[in-house]
Amino acid sequence: MCGIAGLISFSTAEDVVGLSSRPDTLSQALASRGPDAHNRWISPGRHAALDHRRLSIIDLHSRADQPMISDDGRYAIVFNGEIYNYAELRSELTGRGVRFHTTGDTEVLLQMFAQYGPAMLPRLRGMYAFAIWDEPEQRAFLARDPLGIKPLYYARSRERLYFASQVRALLTVPGLDLSEQPAGHVGFFLWGSVPEPYTLYRGIHCLPAGHWMTVDRSGETTVRKFASPVEEFGQYRLEEMPGSDAECKSRLHAALAGSVRAHQTADVPCAIFLSAGIDSSVITALSAEQGLPATTLTLGFDMLRGSENDEVPLAQIIARHYDTPNHPQYIGQPFFLEHRDRILEQMDQPTIDGVNTYLVSWLARQFGFKVALSGIGGDEVFGGYPSFQQIPQTVHALAPLAHAPFLGRGWRILTAGVMRRFTSAKYAGLFEYGGTWGGAYLLRRGLYMPWELPAFLDADLVRAGWEQLHSIPAMNALVHLVDRLPFAESGQADFLRISALEMTYYMRSQLLRDADWAGMAHSVEIRVPFVDMFLLRQLAPLRASRFFPRKPAYAECLSRPLPASILHRPKTGFHVPVREWMQQETERGLRPWSRFVYRAKFASAGSD
């Protein structure tokens, strides 16, 4: 895990040299991402500059520092992330006569590109965002992993293209268009996070997950999609479907164990973020049964101590059950208030989440860990959210109204004011939105509804942002991809539809992005064994089968079962008392926190 930054000049070489040597250049804002080494490289032709902040995890020697240059001088790379199958790829390349000078994954990635070009991307198991400069071709190649675990942002001026691991690095570049991007502002208040590929700024963009981009010194730019997790849902043959419950559980166990094992590939110790939930417990169990050493870390909150929302006692039961060291830490309001300003400073784009990840990453750093495994993705893969039941019920019940949208719109206009005073404003939109998959998902996941936003955002901004986002049609189109999947058995189609929506929206634009900035604030790399394309490929025929166990039953595949108190515990979610700490008791949920974040960090972007 690292921080990367760079620029490509379309004009004179002096621009690259001058900008790359400025003391407040791009990578200064990325310092916490890579405290172990900092290096910069300027291309011989002086049309590219690459900057790297290193967090040493695989091959700790300085020989593995970046930017890394190929032996022939043709390619230079900066890379953020991990390639978990680098050892197998290295063996293949060695068989082709490639010589290596390091024992890490960066050189493997560089040599894979030299051998195969963009065709290598589907073969990479890992999380990544990287840039490679091709000196003879005078062209840069940038790519981002299919599930969007690692971020990559870029901005373009008339004479240069800049890129970086975080938006805040690009904000240091003079002359970029930092005017309001309506879709970013509206998207934040709709979802509680900024949906990619948008940011709050017109001139700064997110390279979409599963895409690569090339840009040459003339400024010609190409962007292509190379992978989609939803499309992977259907990449299997009929004969790969499991024939029994026992076969399904056996294959599920093997796939999960393999992913946990791969995600502990490191030359430094790994920790596990352990809550009282199923997913982190399964990671702990699979790690223990394979003899993989890992310490578990558990976060608790003073005001929840002793309540049903206190994660610590049950996490300690799990740790003892699997003979795993556990370090619990209770956090109180004074600690949160002490760290609040730094949380806002490190928060790359506004989000209503991430505080819990920031705090548990702080705990990891206190115990000297650079790597921690998280259960993010378990709910999306195994159907752990209430949305997996509620959204299909809503859509099937209200589908006829989708053909008469004027009725639902009229109901919303008539009732919105009353609903807002007595209950959630979402109920006013039930008949307007509830009959389509995209609309029902917005009702379930939305922080605010579109018609509420003009109360505190400019009405023209809201109108433009809603049109740009095209949210409901885009979500309906995503679901339509699932409708075309082969062989899905009865009852699985709805499950796969919601899985696609949760992975593409909530997981990617909120959970994974928050894990990145919050972990990197403490120089901690967060790995996510459930968010893995190789795992999704292995599970594709299982997830389409009637034998596929959803949450919590999927945990029954373990060799040593979870304690009954964990397996049969009702899902409660991980409650972080931000609203109580901020003493914002006057309004529902995290809405007050969202406005506080927006005003405190992005007041200049147009909030009142």
Query: Which amino acids are annotated as binding site, given as ranges?
Result: 105, 374-375
Q: Residue 65 carries which side chain, given as an amino acid letter?
A: D
* Inter-CA distances, 81 with 33, 280, 377, 488, 520, Å: 11, 21, 18, 34, 12
Q: Which residues are annotated as a binding site for L-glutamine?
A: 105
Closest C-alpha to 499, from 568, 547, 548? 548
d(CA 461, CA 441): 23
Closest C-alpha to 548, from 229, 148, 123, 236? 236
- Residue 2 among the catalytic residues: yes
Burial of 144 (0-12, 13-18, 19+ CB in 10 A): buried
Helix (H) or strand (E) holding 260: helix 245-262
What are the φ/ψ torsions at residue 212 (nearest 5 degrees)?
Answer: -120, 160
Helix (H) or strand (E) holding 180: none
Contacts of 87 (CB under 8 A, 6+ apart): 265
d(CA 64, CA 574): 38
Tokens representing 186 are 């509206």
Residue-level length of the chain: 608
Is the preceding peptide bond at 146 cis, omega within 30 degrees of 0? no
d(CA 337, CA 169): 25
d(CA 218, CA 365): 44
d(CA 78, CA 133): 9
Distance, CA of 8 to chain centre: 27
Closest C-alpha to 50, from 80, 78, 14, 82? 78
d(CA 462, CA 468): 10
Tokens representing 380 are 């999306």
Transcribe 134-179 into DSSP letters.
Answer: ETTTTEEEEEE-TT--S--EEEE-SSEEEEESSHHHHTTSTT---S
Q: Which residues are annotated as a binding site for ATP?
A: 374-375
Pairing relation of β-strands 139-144 and 153-156?
Answer: unpaired
* Inter-CA distances, 586 with 245, 457, 582, Å: 49, 20, 11
d(CA 147, CA 122): 12
Q: Which of 2, 206, 248, 270 is catalytic?
A: 2
In the block, residue with structure tokens 């750093």: 365
d(CA 181, CA 298): 38
In this structure, are residues 445 and 472 in contact, taking their beta carbons and an 8 Å threshold? no
Distance, CA of 312 to chain centre: 26
Tokens representing 59 are 């091959």
Q: Residues with catalytic annotation?
A: 2
